[in-house]
Chain A
Amino acid sequence: MTASRPAPRIRPDTRARRQHLLMLAPYLVGLVGLMLLPALVTLALAFTEYDLLRPPTWVGLDNLTALVDDPIFRVALLNSLVFAVVAVPLRVLVALGLALLLHRRAPGVGTARTATLLPTAVPEIAYGLLWLWLFNPLYGPINQLLRLGGEHGLTVLGRTPPPWLTDPTSARAGIILMSLFTMGETFVVLLAARRALPRDVYEMAALEDATGWDVFRRITLPLMAPVLALLAVRDAIASLHFTFVPAFVVTDGGPPPYATTYLSLFVYQTGFEYLRYGYAAAATLVMMLLTVAALLVQWRLIRRYRRFYQV
């Protein structure tokens, strides 16, 4: 069903438009000067060889073809994609679970909501250093907990607790574990989305004696699906970036072979450690393309759901 179009807006007079422009100016200057221009420069640099000392030389598509054959880049791309596929759904699920648990008013709920948000508010470096300690295989609290009840430094089941940051698989898992606690923004949006759902629909379900599982599966989940899908795409885009600090501070891209080198860290190391700016820019271009692809998915979702739920 098509919604009635809004009445044609009255064209604001020139003075009002000038004022709008004036008020927008600081943002526009920042947007163009700090985002668009550097992005364009990066785009251009992707087709050059540049080490900050000599002027850039045009190399055409050489950087991109080199990336395709670069095993480290391929590992970084794979790591980023695997992280997005595993961590993003988990993060959204954790946020959803907490939002459904904490959307009602009850004693202690306010405190619990604050606690849920807190890790997101901690500075990323501090958060990374904290986990460095938590992950310590010998005296870190996580492994101490895992060793509870076991003997000779083993778990109750008689296994060695994970070495975390020195083993590729457990290091990857560790970074994902770290990321699960910083879903505060997703949590807040889902909390608001759940509270915006009509109450009478749930009362209707109560009258039909629907079980909690039925209510979740048949009502809550489908009604929140648009928000969940959008948040997941948004989180997937963000995951290209928020993997940087943990990989940089906690694992330094390791353990070998490049187990936690994600695209963002790859770009950083290529650019700022090996001074291969052109090559780093080409890798950034790939990140941009991934982002654009995700944005397209997001855009399609918004269009689809708008048609779906329009009243």
Chain B
Amino acid sequence: MSGLTLAGVSAAYRDATVLHEVDLAARPGELLVVLGPSGAGKSTVLRVVAGLEPATTGRVHIAGRDVTDLRPGLRNVSMVFQSYALFPHLSVAENIAFGLEVRDVPRRTARERARAAAETVGCAGLLGRRPGQLSGGERQRVALARALVREPDVFLLDEPLSNLDLTLRVEMRAELRALHDRLGATMVHVTHDQTEALVLADRIAVLRDGRVEQVGTPEQIWRTPASTFVARFVGSPAMNLLPADAAVCRTGDAPPLPEQPLEVGFRPEAVTLDAAEGTPATVDRVEVIGEDAYAYLTLAAGHRVVARVPAARRPARDESVRVGVRWADAHLFHADSGRRYVP
């Protein structure tokens, strides 16, 4: 069992700094998901851990060893690339055994362990094929098998599910989680898909412009977003964000607002459309997704708000409604910094 620590790690491509003194830790046996929009530096985090990019400042520790100055091959990490990076000229068995064979594990042992790894991820039937003959999902399994054949200290997964279609992605997501629980290995999983992050992670680190915005359990990220960025990035449709002094009807227990510029955030679920005393609003459009409907509204003061309502009781377009916000589910943020307001 082993963990991973990044302490004050910065990285740069040419002159552009892409990571700014990132502090991040994955506990032994933890599945840490690094979440962020494209260009946030997620993959760079993995590449610095793997040693494929140098850290300009800071230290990287894997399993208690300082690996900052070690070459990739000595760090004992496995990586699953977004493209899978399978060797096209080698069979599946040779692909999986590659890491063992170049480390001079006897051929027979290497093949046996490759078969065992393939069985773990359910691709033992493909051992004789070449990558060109495999579907996207099968390639993904082979890449996983190749990563776990060597029993590394840390698994690094760079958007491994992003090339799969939705059904397969959901299926592989569950399998990946089950695999992690079975192996008990430390994994760092990079994704831009917030659902994937929420479903998979033990903890999530939200990255923005090369800085860690928040680290926490999926529950913490969802319930207590540390900034307006996290609040808007996690959740779909995104959280509503208004000036706190905007004229909006607050329902439930609503303490007086502090006297400073704040923003209020609330998810579409926290909006009710049948509040008796509610703020008047008109319905711009309605999206129905199965049992749920999202109503896009414009408040009387001009602010736009999304509300989730049961599809059966959705308002019509251009209808006038009265909007209330369940204040217990609302979040307050400093208007200038975007950080969470803690009373």
Could you list which residues of chain A lie within 8 angstroms of chain B, going by C-beta atoms? 1, 198, 200-201, 203-211, 214, 218-219, 222-223, 225, 308-311
**Is B254 at the interface (CB under 8 A from chain A)?**
no
Q: Is the CB of B85 within 8 A of A210?
A: no
* B79 interface contact, C-beta 8 A: yes
CB neighbours of A198 from chain B (8 A) = 83, 85
Q: A200-B85, A223-B89 are in contact. Are A208 and B71 (CB under 8 A)?
A: no
Of residues 237 to 267 in B, which have CB atoms within 8 Å of A's CB atoms?
none
B102 within 8 A of A: yes
Within 8 A of A (CB), among B127-157: 131-133, 150
CB < 8 Å: which of B85, B89, B150 contacts A203? B85
Asked if A208 contacts B98 (CB within 8 A), the reply is yes
Q: Is the interface of A mostly helix, strand, loop or mixed?
A: helix
- Cα–Cα distance between A225 and B51 once the two chains are bound (Å): 30
| A115→B277 CA distance, assembly (Å) | 83
**Please, could you name 15 A-B residue pairs with CB atoms under 8 Å apart, sorted by A?**
A198-B85, A200-B85, A203-B81, A204-B81, A205-B98, A206-B52, A207-B50, A207-B72, A207-B75, A209-B71, A209-B102, A210-B73, A218-B98, A219-B87, A225-B89
- Distance in angstroms from A231 CB to nearest chain B CB is 18
- What's the minimum C-beta distance from B335 to chain A, rounded to whole angstroms? 43
Q: A222 to chain B: which residues have CB within 8 Å? A: 89-90
Establish whether residues A207 and B73, one from each chain, have CB atoms under 8 Å apart when the complex forms.
yes
Q: Give complex CA distance A309, B132 in Å.
A: 7
Shortest B4–chain A CB gap in Å is 15
Q: Are A204 and B79 in contact (CB under 8 A)?
A: yes
A209 with B85, Cβ < 8 A, contacts A218-B102, A309-B132, A310-B132 known:
no
Tell me the smallest distance from the CB of B149 to a CB of chain A, in Å.
Answer: 10
A200/B83 in contact, CB under 8 A: yes
Give chain B nearest CB distance to A210 CB in angstroms: 4
Contacts of A200 in B (CB 8 A): 81, 83, 85
A207 in complex: contacting residue of B78, B89, B132, B133, CB < 8 Å: B78
B77 contacts the other chain (CB 8 A) = yes
Q: Is B74 an interface residue (CB 8 A)?
A: yes
Chain B nearest CB from A55 CB (Å) reads 59
Tell me if B108 is interfacial: C-beta within 8 Å of chain A.
no
Bound complex: CA A190 to CA B150 (Å): 34
Query: A201-B85, A201-B87, A223-B89 are contacts. A214–B79 as well, Cβ < 8 Å?
Result: no
Q: Which chain A residues border B51 with CB–CB below 8 Å?
A: 206-207
State in angstroms the CA–CA spacing of A27 and B72 once bound together. 54
State in angstroms the CA–CA spacing of A126 and B88 once bound together. 45
Measured CA separation A200–B88 after assembly (Å):
12
Q: Residue of B at shortest CB range from A217?
A: B102
* 11 more CB-based (< 8 A) A-B contacts, given A203-B72, A207-B72: A200-B83, A201-B85, A203-B50, A204-B87, A205-B102, A206-B52, A208-B73, A208-B103, A209-B72, A223-B88, A225-B89
